[in-house]
Structure 1
Amino acid sequence: MARLIVHIGAPAAGAAPLQSRLARRAEALERAGACWLDASDLAGGRPNLDAMVKLSGRGEGFRARIGLRRALALCKPRAEICLGSSERLWWLEDPALIAGFAEGLRKVYERIDIVACLPRQDRMLVAQRAPAAAPRALTPAARLWGTEPRALPSWRPEFEGRLDHAARLDRWRAAFGADAVHALVDPRDAPEPEAAPTLAATLAGLAGLPAELFGPEPPLRPRRGIRAARALMAMEAREAGLGPRERREIAAAAAATKSGPSLKPSRAEAAALMARCAPFNARLEADWRGPDGAPLRFADDLSDWPEVGTDRLSPEAGRALRKLLMEMLARMTAEQKAAGLRRARVPRLGPEAGRAAGRTVGEVRKQAEWGELGWRKRIRRRRRLAAAGKL
């Protein structure tokens, strides 16, 4: 029977580069008797297995569910060694779902290996701010951590389970067995980055394939940060209830300013977060070993965070945001009036609106009563009724 090796995440720990590398090396892998499980035939061309996990809700109501029928179809054996990757699997919390997934895979695979690459919690959350600020529909990062305009979201009770790497690994170990689950620390977050095992080398070792088959190992680079002004303005706009079109305009305006610092929390805020995560990481170090046999431990250096965080809008960025919001809200009012709807009250923002992250949001949220879904749907409905002669 065939063998399956699945990388399950976590986020901000090299999943996208790994998926790109394996997709580019698909033909070389095939010649070596291995297969990259490309889901393009069932999932609209997506080069990973994300299609088998459905995410819903946000905040405390966030849920991840796996469709077992689709998951088993996507993981169907196509070679002696099958490789797959989906960081959405990391968010499965229901032990029964994970156990059902394991039971289905055991019917078609002789051996199954689960691989997880773990980022340090503070760096993971900061890296997740970029997808959380994306102008498109809610991303997994926005669902999980919210769109509060800060470098580190304010602590909420549900974060405890989401940042406990050891507990998540334990769920997979209970379903697949202790010998089947392998974990490593992201080299960028390891105490000795250059000597730490890499994700691609770990997968190659488990598959019994030469590491060269996956292509050259890229040099270690820091995670790319998002510009503070762009992230904060985008998240402010989402919190204010503006629609995708308006958020794209704000993102474009913020991106036009290429100067400015990257979004970073203060060192004290990062230290406070890591203090909350210390019990989780102590259990991780005690219970888990990496591919090299060393305990899984994160570097404790916080020097990459500044003394004063860069997650506050400057007065200039605040004024630019205020201007954009006023223009967009005025346009909303004009469209509502043209459609014959009750005119929405344009908020009055004070001269200091936008100076600190959250202040503009508070004003707009209180006074702008027409969210995108509300007034746009009413306009469309009125136009349909007019076209049908029912007005």
Structure 2
Amino acid sequence: MTAAKPEFIVHIGQSKTGTSSIQRVLGGQRKALEQLGICYPLSPGWANHGMLPASLVPLSRLGHFNPALWDGIGAEARLAQFRREFAAEMAALPAGTRLVILSAEQCGGLLGNQAEIARLRDLLAPHASRIRIAIYLRRQDQHAASGYTQGLRVAGIRPPELPKLGPDRLPQYDYAKLLDDWAAVFGADAMMIRIFERAEMVHGDAVDDFLDLCGVPLAVPADHPDRQSNLSLTPAAIDLARSMGERMKARPEGLSAASLPWRRFMAALSDALPGRGWKPHPAEAAAFLARYAEVNEAVRRRWFPDRPSLFAPLEPAAVDPSQGPPPGPPPIDRGAALEAAMDLLEDQLGRAAQREADQHVLAGRLHERLGEQGPARNAFRAALRAVPDHPLAQQHLAEAALREGNRTAAEAHLAVLRRAHPAHAATQRIERLMAAPKPGG
């Protein structure tokens, strides 16, 4: 008997609505999902399934994609490989698979008309019993402001300001047409539409809300690191990125989204100085949002008729005429940029020192296994020169001191561990060794 086909849920975005956190959680929980009869495919990408929509449009539309995605073989060959691997993965789904979840916020941007959306349907339909479409809508002014940092990451160096255009020129913010196009291809009953506002989401969290939306009984700890993915930057870090981008644009090699130094710089900056990003002037936000009032009302009427408005209204201060017209885009604060550069330098030096210390510890442990106590001790001491309170280096030196009967040195190492790492396993181990009775005592 032929096995029943699974249901598919395709999460199409939008970007800046917790998509990276959702994708990283799902990618990291594949084994747990499999036990629930749920597949989060690997062939379209480990976390973001961007290969899926990328395979359905001309290569000329993929300029913003990270070149690293093509695995050194180029976009055309890599996408052809994806098509083969995806077909094989779908054909090999375990018999108990009841649900397949795909997540690629690029769907909403790359598949811009019904013909392109239909290509996605035709690709998935042979494998699916039913296809549903999940999408989160974020108020346009908030989405545009949040997307500013994302633009910097792909070398879009410009002052922070909201576009002075309406839905006719910014179709990605015409939510009425976006939803109508997807509903025309997959059916209105297939649309799973959520509002990206904390008050509207389960536990005020995108990950929990998405799992609830899909009916996935997966428990993800509140402090799970993947819940906080693709964060924005502090205002000072934005000033630093703007300064660095302007400088790199002026160099002979120029600046592009494919620039490896720029991508690494932005990745380091994002790790070191995450923040809430740029916030537009309230009057600027009000003027921008007013252009989308008709679009949003059309969405409310069709999809959310019981809501008084599609999105939460602007705060009262945002529409206070006494504030006057919005100012021009803010200039770069060079002082703040320099402070951010110092913070970034300190962060990168600390990470480099940690990597160096970890390597010395690995070398020291290898020497210990070979019975080379002198070189082992030298390696652990080298680790402490890089990171003076490195817990494993302190532990191994304390153990070496105990083996030699030098309790004074061991106590000194333990004092460092208690001060710097009171709950670390290394501290607990040395405490147990120190408390153990002496042989023959």
TM bin (shorter chain): 0.5 to 0.7
CA shift digits 1:324-347 (9 cap, x unpaired) = xxxxxxxxxxxxxxxxxxxxxxxx
With over 3 angstroms needed to count, the CA separation of the structure-2 counterparts of 1:313 and 1:216, relative to structure 1, is: same
- TM-score normalized with structure 1 length: 0.61
Structure 1: distance between partners of 2:268 and 2:201: 39
Of 220, 224, 227, the residue aligned with 1:215 is: 220
CA shift digits 1:271-313 (9 cap, x unpaired) = 11101111111111111139xx757721112479797677322
Q: Percent identity?
A: 27
Structure 1: distance between partners of 2:83 and 2:159: 39
With over 3 angstroms needed to count, the CA separation of the structure-2 counterparts of 1:277 and 1:182, relative to structure 1, is: same
Structure 1: distance between partners of 2:7 and 2:273: 48
Structure 1: distance between partners of 2:167 and 2:131: 34
**1:83 CA drift (Å):** 1.2
**1:198 CA drift (Å):** 5.8
CA shift digits 1:60-91 (9 cap, x unpaired) = xxxxx998946963872622211121100011
CA shift digits 1:196-218 (9 cap, x unpaired) = 886545544554432xx142467
Q: Say if 2:301 is the partner of 1:286.
A: yes
Structure 2: distance between partners of 1:252 and 1:198: 24
Which runs of no fewer than 5 residues in structure 2 stay unpaired?
Answer: 55-60, 65-75, 340-441
Kindly indicate whether the alpha-carbon contact (under 8 Å) linking 1:225 and 1:262 is maintained by their aligned counterparts in 2.
yes
**1:38 CA drift (Å):** 2.3
**1:315 CA drift (Å):** 6.1
Kindly indicate whether the alpha-carbon contact (under 8 Å) linking 2:22 and 2:210 is maintained by their aligned counterparts in 1.
no
Determine the structure 2 residue equivalent to 1:85. 103
Determine the structure 2 residue equivalent to 1:301. 314
Of 157, 178, 181, the residue aligned with 1:147 is: 157
Kindly indicate whether the alpha-carbon contact (under 8 Å) linking 2:11 and 2:104 is maintained by their aligned counterparts in 1.
yes
With over 3 angstroms needed to count, the CA separation of the structure-2 counterparts of 1:157 and 1:240, relative to structure 1, is: farther
Within 5 Å, which residues of 2 pair with 1:216-235?
A: 216=221, 224-227=232-235, 228-235=238-245
Determine the structure 2 residue equivalent to 1:47. 47
Kindly indicate whether the alpha-carbon contact (under 8 Å) linking 1:234 and 1:251 is maintained by their aligned counterparts in 2.
no
With over 3 angstroms needed to count, the CA separation of the structure-2 counterparts of 1:90 and 1:240, relative to structure 1, is: farther
Structure 1: distance between partners of 2:142 and 2:83: 35
Determine the structure 1 residue equivalent to 2:279. 264
With over 3 angstroms needed to count, the CA separation of the structure-2 counterparts of 1:76 and 1:253, relative to structure 1, is: closer
Structure 1: distance between partners of 2:117 and 2:273: 44
Of 137, 140, 147, the residue aligned with 1:121 is: 140
Kindly indicate whether the alpha-carbon contact (under 8 Å) linking 2:174 and 2:292 is maintained by their aligned counterparts in 1.
yes
With over 3 angstroms needed to count, the CA separation of the structure-2 counterparts of 1:109 and 1:273, relative to structure 1, is: same
CA shift digits 1:211-249 (9 cap, x unpaired) = xx1424679999744424124324544665733478579
With over 3 angstroms needed to count, the CA separation of the structure-2 counterparts of 1:158 and 1:236, relative to structure 1, is: farther
Kindly indicate whether the alpha-carbon contact (under 8 Å) linking 1:234 and 1:250 is maintained by their aligned counterparts in 2.
no
Structure 1: distance between partners of 2:301 and 2:274: 44
**1:52 CA drift (Å):** 2.4
Kindly indicate whether the alpha-carbon contact (under 8 Å) linking 1:186 and 1:198 is maintained by their aligned counterparts in 2.
no
Number of corresponding residues: 295
Structure 1: distance between partners of 2:296 and 2:250: 36
With over 3 angstroms needed to count, the CA separation of the structure-2 counterparts of 1:93 and 1:264, relative to structure 1, is: same
Aligned partner of residue 113 in structure 1, secondary structure: strand
Structure 1: distance between partners of 2:268 and 2:118: 47
**1:94 CA drift (Å):** 2.7
With over 3 angstroms needed to count, the CA separation of the structure-2 counterparts of 1:252 and 1:51, relative to structure 1, is: closer
Structure 1: distance between partners of 2:157 and 2:337: 17
**1:258 CA drift (Å):** 7.4
- TM-score normalized with structure 2 length: 0.55
Counterpart residue type for residue 194 of structure 2: L
Counterpart residue type for residue 120 of structure 2: F
Structure 2: distance between partners of 1:8 and 1:75: 21
**1:168 CA drift (Å):** 0.9
Q: CA RMSD in A?
A: 4.5
Counterpart residue type for residue 296 of structure 2: N
Q: Counting helix residues as a fraction of each chain, which structure ranks higher? A: 2
Kindly indicate whether the alpha-carbon contact (under 8 Å) linking 1:34 and 1:80 is maintained by their aligned counterparts in 2.
yes
Kindly indicate whether the alpha-carbon contact (under 8 Å) linking 2:167 and 2:174 is maintained by their aligned counterparts in 1.
no
Structure 2: distance between partners of 1:89 and 1:155: 23
**1:99 CA drift (Å):** 1.1
